[in-house]
A and B are shown apart, each in its own frame.
Chain A
Amino acid sequence: MANVPEDLHYSKDHEWVRVDGDQAIVGITDYAQNSLGDVVYVELPKAQDEFAANEAFGSVESVKAVSEVFSPVTGVVVRINESLADEPESVNSDPYGEGWMIRIKMSNSGEVDSLLTAAEYEDFTKAESE
């Protein structure tokens, strides 16, 4: 069973958001990393890049496949997780911790309210895997 921490917000594209003041930390969920398999490459944007909600900000590659990752919120990238360049496997081993991808300064923090709660996301993944 995939791990879905209570205190995060989730997108239907399998990203998670941790709110930290007016900033959002974004990564992909345990369910997503498990479906992808071994992550071997993560392509991230640069600091200062701007993204609208649901816009692709990068990609995650496993041995077999490439998946885009989407920003669940609108804003400006303030930091990226540079350690993923050398340790992309953190996305598998610790998707909600070491495997975080970007930190965004949100232009509208109200957007997180439209994301899924942990319980809703869990139902969503169950429906998707059926």
Chain B
Amino acid sequence: MGGRMVDFGGWDMPVQYPAGTIEEHLRTRNHAGLFDVSHMGEIDVRGADAIAFVNRLTSNDVRKLVDGQAQYSALTTPQGTVIDDLLVYRLAEDHLLLVVNASTTEKDWEWIESHYAGESVELNNVSSDYCQLAVQGPDAQAILQTLTDLPLSEIKYYHFTRGTVDGIEGIVSRTGYTGEDGFEVYAPADRAEQLWNKILEVGQTGTPTGVLPCGLAARNTLRLEAGLSLYGHEIDETTTLLEANLGWICKLDKGDFIGREPLARQKEEGVKRKLVGFEVTERGIARDDQEVVVAGQRVGKVTSGSPAPFLKKNIGFAYLPVEFANVGQQVEIDVRGRLVGAQLVKAPFYKRTK
């Protein structure tokens, strides 16, 4: 494929394919992009207590799920900070699949195993059994539909179904990390290449409006424009869900879960700092870890900063004390010694029109 490779959490991953990050990003917004995200981890939870067990370890309410539905959630520490963000898939009342980040899979697995308290569940780290391909963009459904009899238009957002794609048994889920409509397909690991090539073929890759293979760099710029957090950047074990604006996956009234108490207290007292989106208003590009300055004071740090290829702006996220964390607030970013003006804006930066 001629992708430029980089080590990512122990995986050799393409940063970009020959079309380049900007083209990959725009093609995904306008037509379709294909992402190999097989590095993501999968943890299988089976048994009569599957829902109760996962509900105790995660912040969202697993009991709200029906068969064939997925949920964005987080594994939380006793302090209410984030061990990982994840998707919880309900395959059956006694069968959940947790999809976690690549770099945290081992940590998550140890954490989950160590919190087993005699419930009737069987846990399996099945990460190496699965490949995961994401087809994203307005043309994603049409492309994938040519490879399956599953009625894709009937799959609602954050729902999934099991069936075959190009004859391969798997899970087809209307989820993604780009801000576009699209699907994530989970299939046996040894079928990744077949599926990848087939999707490129039916998606008419190589034509100006065909599907483009996309690397990690485009995955990052797409998720950033869409205002989605990336573990290790916006969220980690030093940030609480509330500080990260993830209160919506914090179901404090669902009953006890790890980290519930400090989160409830923080909700009552209010957070002291908050994740905010910004747009650079002068020439320059803010980058990860650069400091944010307000009235000469260094008050926060950029968690993700990058050019936004679709918006044609330079954007980012930063943590700021709540007194400065308001839309419209003017700040400066220390870009390698040069103070560059920026303004806090509402996230997501990009929202698809339909």
Question: A residues within 8 Å of B by Cβ?
Answer: 35, 37-38, 40-41, 43, 59, 61-64, 66, 85
- Alpha-carbon gap, A66 to B337, bound state (A): 14
B307 interface contact, C-beta 8 A: yes
Q: Would you call B285 and A37 a contact (CB within 8 A)?
A: no
Q: Would you call A64 and B284 a contact (CB within 8 A)?
A: no
B309 interface contact, C-beta 8 A: yes
Choose among B4, B22, B220, B306 the residue with the greatest number of A CB atoms under 10 Å from its CB: B22
Q: Would you call A64 and B15 a contact (CB within 8 A)?
A: yes
Choose among A40, A43, A64, A66 the residue with the greatest number of B CB atoms under 10 Å from its CB: A64
Question: B residues within 8 Å of A by Cβ?
Answer: 4, 15-16, 20-23, 25, 217, 220-221, 283-285, 287, 306-307, 309, 336
Q: Would you call A40 and B285 a contact (CB within 8 A)?
A: yes
- Alpha-carbon gap, A63 to B224, bound state (A): 12
Q: Would you call B20 and A41 a contact (CB within 8 A)?
A: no
Given A37-B16, A40-B307, A41-B307, do A63 and B22 touch, yes or no (CB 8 Å)? yes
List of A residues within 8 angstroms of B284 by Cβ: 41, 43
Q: How far in angstroms is the closest Cβ of chain B from A3?
A: 16
Q: Would you call B285 and A41 a contact (CB within 8 A)?
A: yes
Given A38-B20, A40-B307, A41-B307, do A63 and B287 touch, yes or no (CB 8 Å)? no
- Alpha-carbon gap, A64 to B306, bound state (A): 7
List of A residues within 8 angstroms of B309 by Cβ: 63
Given A63-B221, A63-B306, A64-B217, do A37 and B20 touch, yes or no (CB 8 Å)? yes
Q: How far in angstroms is the closest Cβ of chain A from B233?
A: 14
Q: How far in angstroms is the closest Cβ of chain A from B224?
A: 11
List of B residues within 8 angstroms of A66 by Cβ: 285, 287, 336
Given A37-B16, A37-B217, A40-B307, do A64 and B21 touch, yes or no (CB 8 Å)? yes
Chain B residue, CB-CB nearest to A89: B22
Chain B residue, CB-CB nearest to A61: B285
Q: How far in angstroms is the closest Cβ of chain B from A74?
A: 23
Q: Would you call A37 and B21 a contact (CB within 8 A)?
A: yes
Q: How far in angstroms is the closest Cβ of chain A from B8?
A: 13
- Alpha-carbon gap, A39 to B40, bound state (A): 29
List of A residues within 8 angstroms of B25 by Cβ: 63
Q: How far in angstroms is the closest Cβ of chain A from B20?
A: 5
Chain B residue, CB-CB nearest to A41: B285
A-B contact pairs, 24 of them (CB 8 A): A37-B4, A37-B15, A37-B16, A38-B21, A38-B22, A38-B23, A40-B285, A40-B307, A41-B284, A41-B307, A43-B284, A59-B336, A61-B285, A61-B307, A62-B21, A63-B22, A63-B307, A63-B309, A64-B21, A64-B217, A64-B220, A64-B306, A66-B285, A66-B287
